[in-house]
Chain A
């Protein structure tokens, strides 16, 4: 085992939080080492694109190594050929594993068992976690959407304002302190945004624009051109009021180029997730590159952190142990310890708590590092999503834009928030691709006479309206030639989809632990999850989302195709149990993930109830900082990346101040 000791700061993880920290520290002349578990940033993205094009399931993870699906090993019980996580050195949780959540031969996570005697609507029901992440150079921003909304001041005071969840430390003061860092994050990402539209939105929430951006600040690029889909919504919702709030459509500030610059202008590939083929969308490899260009930053790829060493007496972190590998399924090729003055863990809200909990062999930390509070791994959250989809009256020509260019943000805050979770409504530009695996489902229906899209049979929607696309055609039509062309064209060009990002509350029982029985190929324990949606507060938002969707489709003159999910199955054959279905107030619901993994090393102003202090510094170890969305006390009402980026800029200042002081 070798030791390397010439660094000021060691950072675990090269995603957006780690890369921003490295860049800021490197610019300040500090020597920084990044340990990245995954493989290096490729010279260009053509290899990832090739993998994506060939993938049968175009899931968010499909382009990235190690492979998520290998048809060559497909079997009846594993049709997509999911790899065995026990045989991978850096396995990660993928969307394809959700349906296999009770099968550890296919699913990276271990899950705690269901309690006995559940009813379909039991709040204690456990679910599969619905979001995934990457372990590669540049991290999960490879497949982020790019949405770059500021959180709202009330998001930081959920307890004070609405008696729900917790406040962020300092509440609105925390937000005010973050404003200049939001500005830095917006610049680093290169957000394209329409300030006037956002000012109007914030005024609706009683927030002065200066309180959002800082005086005289604007977005670095003009807003992305809105889609024809957005324009339909703009006209339709302008007269709508819901929960006593007037609705409006707001163009989404987003991390993609509206002007040519260091990166190309967005060309409307409609593929931000899984991968932007031309890097018009920002990803953390941009900032990682800037960090490396400072000349002060090294990055070691395929270095998997295995233990955080803590001095028994001082409680300071004194090193990070790692193991190395060359190939994804190969043996460990070495290992060692790296040391520095300060340490930063930026390994996402699943792998960060895993590493902290794995470090329990330190005599001073029998419950794991930074875990005096017993909060490490707890309060796992996501925006759990309700999807609604339909056919517009006239063609709106989706599948041509960034995946989303606007949303209905009006219901992110309001008096209703004392009774039910808030949500933002993302307007999709990708037809039913997410909702129904189109264009392939509808295609198969009209080629083979099936009805999985509900367009080609006797299906009726939840309002009792017939869903057959062309009433003049018989059910289960098999078409060819001109009628196939006109039918498919009529359908695809009208497809619309809304996604509701529902705010989940922090629940200490929703947690990441270490599996006692399952390991990866390096012998490291795999995460064990418990994930529930216990609060009526959150479940009420599903009822609300379902209700407003129907009203929105009515206002659009659209026909709703949202498919009611099957009843939940909690017991029995592991291939038959449902992963995300629940019943509430007589409705069956299913939820989807937003990829917003939050809360597992939360920030607070009390060392007994939080993992890090408002400086994102461990309460227990003064030279250890934890960054990323794991510090969020609540998931709030905006996509988390801009905020976690702002927090990383802020944490970099704290680390620099501490280095100076020492």
Chain B
């Protein structure tokens, strides 16, 4: 089955699974059952397009997702899958694509790495993908807060400690 972006259901499922493993957030947060925001459907085409453009490798995204699917089929733990996905022997572009996927989910923005110079260290700049991606950035969840400018809380809630981290990541006990 192919949706309007050309992605198959398997592609999307693998994208969600890989995203959850790499970000450390549960799939229930990455892609909730009821998902009116549906940021995953915005991210998959951005990821595909950007990685294809930057790597000049039209098969790289498919390769990444297939590798994830293969590791998943071996019933490895999230930690084992993540470690293998980010292993240097996958190739520089492969690993960088996975790292950019993490950054995108956390920030809602697409990163560009500015190499170090004699004077300045390596830095990252980024382009915000959309208003929705800004507010769904996982970075606000990992700090147990809310997007700056998009609070769903009520007056004075800040005087108490927030809910446990697990309530934000979807993983019980704060662990993945």
Contacts and interface: CB of A to CB of B under 8 A. Distances in A.
B151 A267 contact: yes
A258 B159 CA distance: 13
A633 B151 CA distance: 40
B4 to A, nearest CB: 23
A124 B152 CA distance: 50
A448 B149 contact: no
A52 B149 contact: yes
Nearest to A401: B158
A268 B126 contact: no
A643 B94 CA distance: 58
Given A400-B158, A482-B79, A485-B176, A440 B126 contact: yes
Nearest to B134: A53
Interface stretch (A222-230, A295-303, A413-421, A585-593): A222-230
Interface stretch (A270-278, A285-293, A333-341): A270-278
B161 A488 contact: no
A268 B157 contact: yes
Given A480-B102, A482-B24, A488 B122 contact: no
Contacts of A274: 149
B43 interface: no
A228 B161 contact: yes
B140 A399 contact: yes
Most buried by A among B121, B124, B126, B175: B124
Q: How large is the interface on B (under 10, 10 to 19, 20 to 34, 35 or more residues)?
A: 35 or more
B109 interface: yes
B103 A444 contact: yes
Interface in A424-445: 429-431, 433, 439-440, 443-444
Contact of B131 (A53, A225, A481): A53
A478 B92 CA distance: 14
B90 interface: no
A485 B158 contact: no
A451 B127 contact: no
Interface stretch (A54-62, A317-325, A342-350, A526-534): A54-62
Interface string A255-289: 00010000001111111001101000000000000
Contacts of A433: 148
A73 interface: no
Interface in B106-165: 106-107, 109, 111, 113, 121-128, 130-132, 134-135, 139-140, 142-146, 148-162, 165
B51 interface: no
B45 interface: no
A268 B158 CA distance: 7
Given A71-B127, A450-B124, A267 B154 contact: yes
Contacts of A258: 155
Contacts of A275: 149
B79 A481 contact: yes
Interface in A464-493: 478, 480-486, 488-489, 492-493
A492 B145 CA distance: 10
Contacts of A225: 155-156, 158-159
B68 to A, nearest CB: 13
Contacts of A447: 99, 102-103, 106
Contact of B175 (A398, A478, A482): A482
B54 to A, nearest CB: 14
Nearest to A229: B158
B123 A481 contact: no
Nearest to B20: A481
A55 B127 CA distance: 8
Given A54-B128, A268-B158, A482 B121 contact: no
Nearest to A257: B155
A101 interface: no
A401 B162 CA distance: 12
A258 B148 CA distance: 19
A512 B131 CA distance: 38
A439 B134 contact: no
A659 B139 CA distance: 58
B76 to A, nearest CB: 13
Given A56-B109, A485-B25, A493-B143, A450 B123 contact: yes
Contacts of B140: 399, 439
B23 interface: yes
B169 interface: yes
B149 A56 contact: no
A276 to B, nearest CB: 8
Given A56-B109, A448-B113, A400 B145 contact: yes
A452 interface: yes
B153 A400 contact: yes
B161 A484 contact: no
A158 to B, nearest CB: 37
Contacts of B162: 397, 400
Most buried by A among B113, B126, B131, B153: B131
A211 interface: no
A45 to B, nearest CB: 11
Contact of A56 (B21, B122, B126, B175): B126
Contacts of B148: 58, 269-271, 399, 430, 433
A485 B111 contact: no
A481 B153 CA distance: 27
B24 A481 contact: yes
B82 interface: yes
A485 B142 contact: yes
A481 B21 contact: yes
A447 to B, nearest CB: 5
A227 B159 contact: yes
B23 A481 contact: yes
A50 interface: yes
B155 A267 contact: yes
Nearest to B149: A271
A401 B171 CA distance: 26
Given A397-B158, A400-B158, A492 B142 contact: yes
B143 A439 contact: yes
A267 B153 contact: yes
Contacts of B16: none
Given A397-B161, A400-B158, 8 more contacts: A79-B125, A268-B156, A271-B148, A400-B162, A439-B107, A450-B122, A451-B121, A485-B176
Query: When A and B form their complex, which 7 residue pairs have the shortest distance between CB atoms, in order from nearest?
Result: A53-B131, A492-B143, A444-B124, A271-B149, A482-B176, A485-B24, A399-B145
